[in-house]
Structures are given as structure tokens and as C-alpha cells.
């Protein structure tokens, strides 16, 4: 069992209203020094068995077709072998 | 300028309907071998200047008060020095 993380972020050239809203809130709440905020999605997939090249290609396919909209979003797939260590709130 | 990433995920004991929906869709689309899916949020903050301990404490404060709901979500803060290298769609 391995954990695969898929990060989906709006492409740099795409306006990100959620990120803009967070950025505006930071200013209003007095947190300065943040130049920009982008908000995206993070998916954690618990994958059964070994992660082979074939398996990874399938997961990339999932990321591209189901988890992201490739017109406006980029995705990144990475393997986190350490299952179940997410480490609480820090 | 440094990039700080804040990952916000539903706590393990909290039901995650979005993740469940994705998991169900994977099954229907014929992608087997995925035991579980959790969906969360990923924030990328472009922070001005050096990341000091004090700055990091402030970002943790932002993550806890603005970016996450600590009752139902865990957050993780990490520094990604490599600014602007997100690496397209892969």
C-alpha cells in the first residue's frame, strides 16, 4: 500500500479568485509580506500493491481526466511511501 | 522571495464526501486498485523576504486561523525554496 499525492493548481496565467480572496483577507487581517496566494486541490490516493511504471501512468491518466481540468489546471503526481504519517497539525 | 505551501486535509476520522465521490467515480470508470481517496486543499503563498522562525510562526497562525478549520482539518506547512518551478503538467 502506497500513498500517491496529486496536486492540482490553477495554471499561472489563469485568474484564481479563491487565492485572490485569501490574499485580500490576509491584508485585512494584518498579515503582511505575502505577495501572492494561489489555491488548488490536493488528492491523497491510497493505492493497493506496488507502484509500477504502468500503475503510475494510470494514476497520471486519472489526474489528467478526472482530478484536473487540463485547460485551466496543472497537476503534479508524487509518491509518498510513508503511509499514515501525515503528522497531525504542524 | 520564497514559496510556502500549506496543505489542508480533512482529519482521518472525519467523513470526506468529496473524496468518496472521486473514489466512486474511479470505480465506475474502471480504475481499480485504489483503496481510498481523500480530497483537501493546497495553498501556495509567495512570501516576501527571508523565511525566519518568526515568519514561519506567523504562517502557521494563518494556516490555523484562515486557511483551515482546525475542528475538522489538519494542516501542514512546508517551505519550497524553488520559486516558480512548479513544472507544468507532470
pLDDT score for B81: 72
Q: Is B49 touching A (CB cutoff 8 A)?
A: yes
Asked if the C-beta of A86 comes within 8 angstroms of chain B's C-beta atoms, the answer is: yes
A64 contacts B31? CB cut-off 8 A:
no
Percentage of chain A exceeding pLDDT 70: 90
Give yes or no for A56 touching B (CB within 8 A): no
Chain CA centroid to CA B69, Å? 13
* The pLDDT value given to residue A86: 45
CB contact under 8 A, A42 and B37: no
User: Is the model's pLDDT at A84 over the cut of 50?
Assistant: no
pLDDT score, position B26: 95
On the question of pLDDT at A85 being above 60, the answer is: no
- Give chain A's domains with CATH numbers: 2-80 (3.30.1280.10)
Neighbour count for residue A73 (Cβ, 10 Å) = 19
Of B29, B49, B55, the CB nearest to A66: B29
For residue A33, give the nearest of B12, B44, B49 by CB distance. B49
What sign does the dihedral B45-B47-B51-B57 (CA atoms) show?
A: negative
CA A3/CA A35 separation, integer angstroms: 32
The model's pLDDT over A5-15, given as tens digits with 9 standing for 90+, comes to: 999 999 999 99
- Residue A7 class from Cβ within 10 Å (0-12 exposed, 13-18 middle, 19+ buried)? buried
Mean pLDDT of A42-68: 94
CB nearest A44 (choices: B38, B46, B58): B38
A13-54 pLDDT, tens per residue? 999 999 999 999 999 999 989 999 999 999 999 999 889 999
Q: How far is B90 from chain A (nearest CA, A)?
A: 5
* pLDDT (tens digit per residue) in B17-72: 999 999 999 999 999 899 999 999 999 999 998 899 999 999 999 999 999 999 99
Residue B87 has what pLDDT?
44
Cβ–Cβ gap A41/B45 under 8 Å: no
**pLDDT score of B1:** 86
Residue A90: pLDDT above 50?
no
The answer to whether A37 contacts chain B (CB < 8 Å) is: yes
Amino acid at each position: 500500500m502506497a500513498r500517491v499525492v496529486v496536486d492540482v493548481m490553477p495554471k499561472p496565467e489563469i485568474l484564481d479568485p479563491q487565492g485572490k480572496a485569501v490574499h485580500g483577507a490576509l491584508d485585512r487581517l494584518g498579515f503582511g509580506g505575502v505577495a501572492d496566494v494561489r489555491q488548488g486541490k490536493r488528492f491523497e490516493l491510497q493505492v493497493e500493491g506496488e507502484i509500477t511504471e504502468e500503475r503510475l501512468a494510470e494514476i497520471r491518466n486519472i489526474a489528467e481526466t478526472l482530478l484536473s481540468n487540463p485547460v485551466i489546471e496543472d497537476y503534479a503526481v508524487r509518491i509518498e511511501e510513508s503511509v499514515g504519517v501525515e503528522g497531525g497539525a504542524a
